[in-house]
Amino acid sequence: MAKHSEIKLIGTPASPFVNRVQFALNLKSINYEDIEENLACKSELLLASNPVYKKVPVLLHADKPPICESQIIIDYLDEMKPDLYQLLPPVSLDRANCRFWATYIDTKFYPLYDELRRTTNKAGKEAIKEQMIESTQLLEEAFIKSSNGKTYFGGDEVRYLDVVLGCFIRWIKYSDELHDFNTFDEVRIPKLAKWAKKVSSHEALKSVTPGTETLANIFGLLNVYRPPYDQ
């Protein structure tokens, strides 16, 4: 008999943005049902649920219209059940800081990995790696300020920025192997490197982290739908 959950998540195992929402749902101990999407052939459900962007993840909560965009979904989960594990901090200024870095991660840091994949010439690749180094330096500093000497961005426990950045670690490691790079270098960014190891092994994330084969498939798909730039 199919499990009936009030919350359904349209997604795909390889998407770090989907993993992000799953990580959050797991931390909050919210039961949910995964609806797996084939990104090469998008379903009517996805197209109807996210007509604007046609992307995963999409959260379906009971009979409410769908909620799209992973950061917005997490905000919603926090506000919907304030008694459950809160991801955003209680103080407004700290919340603004979290949102700032989340935007930075999604719009400036993570897109570098797709750029790297699509750039074919050596000089171009080196230039992007330089940007990655600069970017992770900023994130190292942000981590130091946010963690206040503790294990996670959120302090003793995994919170918002741990989720927002943590979901990318497996994807980044896969990309690093392909492009002879080490994003979470222990010499360059010791604190962030330690954090990456710790958060990757957190049960709430580990249980939804995709395997190598899944990642290989999605990278293959990306190379078809968003192919490398011409030389």
Q: How far is the CB of 122 from other proteins (least distance, A)?
A: 29
Residue located via tokens 């998407």: 15
Distance of alpha carbon 170 from alpha carbon 214, whole angstroms: 11
Restricting to residues 124-143, name those near other proteins by CB under 8 A.
Answer: 138
Q: How far is the CB of 72 from other proteins (least distance, A)?
A: 5
Q: How far is the CB of 10 from other proteins (least distance, A)?
A: 15
Given the rule CB under 8 A, which of 16-24, 94-102, 172-180, 190-198 is the region that contacts other proteins? 94-102
Residue from 45, 80, 127, 221 binding other proteins (CB under 8 A): 80
Cis-peptide into 57, omega within 30 deg: yes
Query: According to the binding rule CB under 8 A, does residue 99 interact with other proteins?
Result: yes
Query: According to the binding rule CB under 8 A, does residue 54 interact with other proteins?
Result: no
**What does the per-residue mask of binding to other proteins show for 34-53, with x meaning CB under 8 A?**
------------------x-
CB nearer to other proteins: pick between 128 and 142: 142
Query: According to the binding rule CB under 8 A, does residue 229 interact with other proteins?
Result: no
User: In the 3-class helix/strand/coil scheme, how is 196-212 assigned residue by residue?
Assistant: HHHHHCCHHHHCCCCCH
Residue from 76, 85, 181, 219 binding other proteins (CB under 8 A): 76
Residue from 73, 116, 128, 193 binding other proteins (CB under 8 A): 73
Distance of alpha carbon 27 from alpha carbon 21, whole angstroms: 10
Restricting to residues 149-208, name those near other proteins by CB under 8 A.
Answer: none
The residue ranges that bind other proteins (CB under 8 A) are 52, 61, 64, 67-69, 71-73, 75-76, 79-80, 92-93, 95-96, 99-100, 103-104, 138
